Each structure stands twice: as structure tokens, then as C-alpha cells.
Chains A and B, each alone.
Chain A
Amino acid sequence: MKRNVAIIGGGQTHHAARRHDVNQVEMVNEAVRAALSDARTTIDEIDAVLVGNMEFFEGCHMTDCWLVDGTGAYGKPGLKITTGGTVGATIVCAGVHHVASGLFDRVLCVGFEKQEEGDTGAILSGVAHPLFGRSMAGAAVGYFAMMATSYMAAWGAKEEHSAMVAVKARQNARKNEYAHLKLDINIQDVLNSRMLAYPIRMLDMCPASNGACAIILADETTAKDRCEKPVWIRAMDTAHNEQFELDWRDVTTQKSIFSRVSAARIYKRLGVNKPTDYFDVFEIYEPATWAEMVWYEDLGLCGPGEGFKLIENNKTGIDGPIPVNPSGGILSTNCIGASAMLRVWEAALQIRGDAGGHQVPKEVRRALATAYGGTNWTVLTALSRNIDD
């Protein structure tokens, strides 16, 4: 990259299942104002506005156009990208490209979803191929049910392990004032929750949230001038799996898959040998409990088949040696277009030491954020406190 790029501010809404008090424009504006205020910047100082959102989820075409009053894009350059669940991170990538190009010094990235205005399950079924996949599609729950049964059969994990992930997420969320599902639950509550598709129960899945996130990126000079605690974007990597590569349900597959390929590439770029030593905290995109355990393995936080032991031994708790999703993650808040950006923003908050109640109790120099969407797509973002670290 030609110029170093830093996060100089960000903000998010208080995520919730219902936001009858605001329309999409007003909801997005809450996050934009929070980000501008956090970055001590005015909208007039922003050079470009980039929007990420999946328009089918609200049934609104060209949301970036409608939202100009909320995003502040009126009279400014900008664009809209849609890449499914990964879009929030893709927008950050796009923002980094904008700043690194030298054409823009301050770029506002916005991701949002107001899921109550659509039917998430129906829309997610529309992900499947109209000729070959749609008649057997079961939205996201179906996909993760297959991943889960494969995981249990291959590695001997139990439903209790999944429940441990569910409890960790919601208990962490109780420490995060912005999280949607702040549930004081235990393992038994999860195992008693309604079965959706074996072995996925209600509390194993993420919620459908309304919410927005905004991040302001800047070049090195601006960041050092204007920001006390800039968080540097060290590397990004994007990988998509082709839709008919269905091997991913088989957790023992030896084939190249998106998550492992992307992790290997970003680790090589940064010179990471042992990710658990290199990164101090992880914010990952886990739409279902089982996906979190698969991420542990794909990111190399443990060996293949050992992910469920990490949660069993409480290694990934807020105060554990490998904190994963201290924010509560996707299992607690999923406003799709914002979700991947929230991972990046939460990772940045941990580096700044500004995560409040869910700040991990150790020094955070580096963090890794993942995104998850499409038919197994990801964007990985590595962040650091020091520019050359």
C-alpha cells in the first residue's frame, strides 16, 4: 500500500430487534454522528463516503442514494458495495484503498441493516442458485446444521460445546452496552432452547438485528495530527469460495477453503508464525456457535479438531489467553451490512483500550477481525496499535 491508513474514529448504534423510532436514514445517522464525534471531525472534512448494505434485506433498491442525508454523502464522492455478510469489512477495504491511493485523506465507511423491514430467512434462501439450489435451501440455519453435524461426527464434540460458545457470547454481550442479545443464560438454557434444525437450537444462532456502524479512516499525517489513538490497518485479505464447492460442510476436508487460504495469506504477509502469540484479541464473524469453533481451527488458534477443547477449557473467554469476541460477536448482534465492520471496530476499540466493560484485561497491541458471508467468503483485517508493528 502506498500510504499508511489508520482508523481515527468510529461509532455504532445501540443494536436492537426493533427500531420503530427511526427509519433507515435516521438509524444510519446515529452511527455516523457517533463516528464523527469520536474522530473529532465534522462531515465537511470528510472527502468520500462509502456505504455497505444488502438491499434485498430491506427491499430497498439503491439505499446509498436514499441515505445521503443520513450518511452525509450529499455533494461528496462515494460508492456502494454489496458482498453479503462480508460487506462491512469490504467497505473498510474500499476505504483503505481510497486513502492509500492519495486521492482522499479522510474517508467515512458506513455499514448497516434494518432487518425488521424484511424477511431475513426468505431473503437468505434467495442466496441459493435459482435453478440448482433454491428448492433445497434452508437459509443460514440449514447450512450451519450441516457444518455442525459434520463437526460432531468428525471430532466428537457435543452439543454442550456449542452451548458453551452460546453462553460466552451472550455473557460477553452483557458487558457491551451496544449489543443486542444481552442474555444471562447458562448451558442448560441453551440446550433447552427450541430446536431449529438439528443440532442448531434457537440460542445457537445469531439474531436479526437493526443497527449501523461507521468508521473514519485517514492517512498517516492526518491521523497523527488529529487522533490520540489511531489504530493502523496492517493488512487485509479477501477470499471467496465458489458456490458449488460444498466440501466445506465436511470439516475434515483437505481441500483449500476460503478461511484457511485467507489466513495463510495474511499471516505470510505479516510474518505471523503463531497467531495466538502474534494477535492479542480476535473479533470473528460467527453466525452460529459451531462456526466459532471452526474459525478457531481455520485461523490456527488450535489444531484441527481441537476447537471445541478451546471453549471447553475457557481459553477464549474475555480473561482467557486467546480472547475471541469479547464484544459478544455476531451471536449477540447481527445487523448484516454492519456486522463485519463491527468486528473491525470492536478490534480497534480493544487496541485503543476503549472497549469499556468488555475490554480484555491484558495489553492489546494487535488484533485480527474476520468477516463471513456469501457461500463461504471472508475478509480478514489485521490491526495494530503501532504503525510499524
Chain B
Amino acid sequence: MSDRVAIVGVAQTRFSPKRPEVNYAEMAYEAIEEVLKNTRLSIERDIDNAISCSHDIWDGQTISNIGITDVIGGHLRNEEKMAMDGSTAVYYATIGILSGEFDCTLILAHTKMSQTNRNIVNNTAFDPIYTRLLGLDFTSAAALQAKRYMSCRNITEKLTAGVVVKNLSNAAHNPVAHNKGFYTIEDVLNSPLVAHPIRRMDIAPDSDGAVAMIVASERRAKIITDRPAWILGIGTCYDSYYLGDRDLSDCWALKKAAAQAYKMAGINDPSQDIDLIELGEEFSYQELLWLEGLGICGPGEAGELTASGLTAVDGALPVNPSGGLLSGVPTNVAGLNRVAEAALQIRGEATGHQIKDVKVAVAQGHSGFCGQHHCVIVLGRE
């Protein structure tokens, strides 16, 4: 990139299974108010445009960015709503700044999963003619993917349970996480079966929360902060829609999205050039599958890699030191939280779970069942 874009501020609400005391706008404002305070920016004076990220169907309001126009500074100004995972909002904000149209963009992702039933919402992502009536939801679809991936690659349930143990113990040091603790592989394997081979502890729990972030052009970023997290590479890609059209043991679209982002960032050997990864493991097996898609190891190798401790907080390549999605991050917010956590690590601000000397971090998010659309963001200190 000739012109550069940086993340100059990040704020997150605490994540919680239920926030009945606030509506989604009030919850969003907690994060927005804090990010403006941290960066000493004013919406009116400094922010050129805003990008929000949520889904009408989750918010229970048609055109639900109506609900946050005031708190995001949209009144008489520019606000656009991305109906995708929050990582894609960072992708689009970066493009907006690179276009020269904007210099400083406020990004917000918010969702209160407690307002509805995730399986009813997610069932409507299946087409109304052929697959919705089967009663599929994201968990049952993920079970098909887990089964296919685990049987093709000889991944045992013990190996996926290892992801849960790692991420929930990482979350114990993350002040905004709510699903945390020190468990054993047996604890995970003894948790109730939801859709074989996925057990309750393998699933990211329902959560309420919001994340706000400010990205800026190089010129503005250097004025705003002395610790910008530079956006070195971005990439997105769609896979096929129908599960039968995809090889669920592979993640072709993630590989393509990562290839775009790595090329832009000049990453040739992801396993060597990357210091830290925050990825979207809505289900524990996805951490392994996405690591393979991100080119960290070959097909079927991510299980042993994780068991060896390489991806632990004290390993050579920490993955989800924040605790990841299993620690309790709402859907849609998920990807923005990934990018936010990666940015905090680059900036040395990951209180309680900071990894030493993170120079290059990768964040990954996905939309659609079994990861149909992937987004990869590469961040760097330089």
C-alpha cells in the first residue's frame, strides 16, 4: 500500500450472557464513549464517517442502524451499516480511507444475543426452498463440518477439546470475557452432546456486548497516537452457499482471503512471519480448521500443533490469547473483537493477557454457516 491505514483506538464493553439493563444503543454507546475518550477525539470535529455492524434480524428492528444513529454520530452525517461479521467492517473502513474519501472512521459492532434464540435466527440463513425446512441451524451445520473435517484429517475429540481448555484458561486473564476457567479435556468431553461431535463446551456461548474502533489515514494516525496498529493487509472471499457444493474439510475461501491479505502485507511464510493470531472459533474445531486455512500448517496438522502447546500463550505462535469466541463474544461483534484484540496486542494494551513483543498479528472473521465468507486482516507495529 502506498498510503497506510492504522487502528488508532479500541474499546470494548464487558461481554456478558445478558445485559437487561441497557438497550443495544446504550450498550453501543459504552464502547463509543470510551474509544473517543481514549483517543481524545470528538465525533463532530474528528470523525469523517461511521460504519456499524449488526443484523436487523438479531436486533429485532428493521433498518436497525436507526437505533444507533445518535450514539454513533450519524445525525446529518455519514453512517453505513455492514450486515456481516465485524472483521469485514474493518476491511471496508480501510478501503474507504484508501479511497481518499475519508481520513478517520469510527467502527461499531453490537449484538445482544440474549434478545432472541440463535437457532431460530440462524435457521433463516438457510434458503427458504431447499434447506430451511430441514431445520438446519449454525450448530447442526457446524456438526456436519466438524464430522467431515475430523474424519478426513484424523482429528480426535480430545484435540478439539484441547482448544476449549486453552481458550477458556486464556480468557481467565481477559477482563472483558465472561466464559472462562481452568478445565480439563475430560471436563469438555463430559459436557452434554449438542450435535455430534459438538458438545456444549465446544460452542461459543450467547453473549451481549459491543466493540468500537477508530481507524485513520497515516497522516491522522500519527497525530492521534504514538502506537498505531498498522493495517498491513486485508482480504475477503466468498465460498459456495450450499454445504454440498463445498468440501467442508477444507476452507478454500479462507485460503483465498488470506492470500490477498498476505500478499498485501508481504507475508511469505505465515508460520514464521506472524507473531499472534486472533481467529473466529465459533466452535472449537474451527480454530484448527482456520489455522490450516491461514497457512500456519498443512491439512490435519493443526490438532497436533495445538496439543504441542505451540498456540498457547507461552508458545511460539499464540492463538486467541484473549480466549477467542469461546470466551463469550456475540455473533457479528465476533470479528471486530478479533481485530480489536490483535490491535491491543500490537499496541501493548492487552491488559492481563498481553503477549511480549508482538510485531505482526493476524485477525480472522467469518460470516455464514461453516464459514462461507472469510475476512483476514494483518496488523503490524511498523
Contacts and interface: CB of A to CB of B under 8 A. Distances in A.
A159 B302 CA distance: 70
A238 B80 contact: yes
B173 interface: no
B76 A55 contact: no
A79 B82 contact: yes
A197 to B, nearest CB: 19
A82 B124 contact: no
Contacts of A373: 63
Contact of A78 (B2, B66, B122, B238): B238
Interface string B364-382: 0001110011000000000
Interface in B79-103: 79-84, 88, 91-92, 95-96, 98-101
A333 interface: no
B240 interface: yes
Contact of A240 (B55, B57, B79, B237): B79
Contacts of A62: 55, 83-84, 125, 367-368
A198 interface: no
Contacts of B270: none
A212 B22 CA distance: 38
Given A60-B125, A65-B238, A103-B98, A123 B67 contact: no
B77 A239 contact: yes
A60 B95 CA distance: 28
A18 to B, nearest CB: 16
Contact of B373 (A65, A93, A256): A65
A271 interface: no
B145 interface: no
Interface residues of B, number: 60
Interface string B342-374: 000000000000000000000000011100110
A48 B66 CA distance: 28
B57 A55 contact: yes
Nearest to A78: B238
Given A79-B92, A96-B99, A97-B96, A68 B241 contact: yes
Interface stretch (A176-184, A241-249, A289-297, A321-329): A241-249
B70 A242 contact: yes
A97 B95 contact: yes
Contact of A65 (B62, B98, B236, B367): B367
Interface in A142-184: none
Contacts of B96: 97, 101
A80 interface: yes
Contacts of A244: 70
Interface of B: 2-3, 23, 49, 55-57, 60-63, 65-67, 69-70, 74-84, 88, 91-92, 95-96, 98-101, 121-122, 124-125, 127-129, 235-241, 252-253, 256-257, 260, 367-369, 372-373
